[in-house]
């Protein structure tokens, strides 16, 4: 059953130049992972420092395996360190109704 993962990050423009290469690296890593389907990034119209990434995976387990890889954890920890807070992840499963 497909899963959608919503990642929410807040960061300010002055850190954008440091974060974008890390976010691109994270994206490339996800795209090469078994079970990855798609990914889209959105910026908030209400808060220019807030970004959402919506990724789709074949299963939650595929996403969890990718998130638990050492390389993924290292990139994510660096991102969180730069933005000064943890990235929020919400995991949703597809329903048939």
Q: What is the pLDDT of residues 11-61, one digit of tens each?
A: 766 777 888 899 999 999 999 999 999 999 999 999 888 889 999 999 999
**How many angstroms separate the CA atoms of 30 and 36, rounded?**
7
Task: For residue 2, count CB atoms less than 10 angstroms from its CB and return exposed for 0-12, middle for 13-18, buried for 19 or more.
Answer: middle
Q: Is the pLDDT of residue 85 over 90?
A: no
Rounded to whole angstroms, what are the CA distances from 33 to 37, 50, 80, 81, 85?
Answer: 9, 26, 22, 24, 26
Domain of residue 24, CATH code = 3.30.70.100
pTM for this one?
0.86
Distance of CA 93 to the CA centre of its chain: 16
How many domains does the chain fold into? Answer: 1
Rounded to whole angstroms, what are the CA distances from 9 to 12, 18, 70, 79, 94?
Answer: 10, 14, 21, 9, 23
Q: What range does the domain containing 70 cover?
A: 3-93
């Amino acid at each position: 059953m497909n899963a959608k993962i919503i990642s929410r990050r807040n960061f300010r423009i002055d850190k954008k130049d440091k974060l974008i290469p890390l976010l691109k690296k994270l994206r490339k890593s996800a795209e090469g992972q078994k079970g990855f389907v798609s990914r889209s990034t959105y910026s908030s119209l209400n808060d220019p420092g807030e970004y959402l990434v919506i990724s789709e995976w074949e299963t939650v387990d595929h996403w969890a395996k990718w998130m638990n890889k050492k390389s993924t954890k290292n990139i994510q920890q660096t991102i969180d360190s730069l933005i000064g807070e943890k990235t929020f992840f919400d995991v949703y499963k597809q329903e048939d109704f």
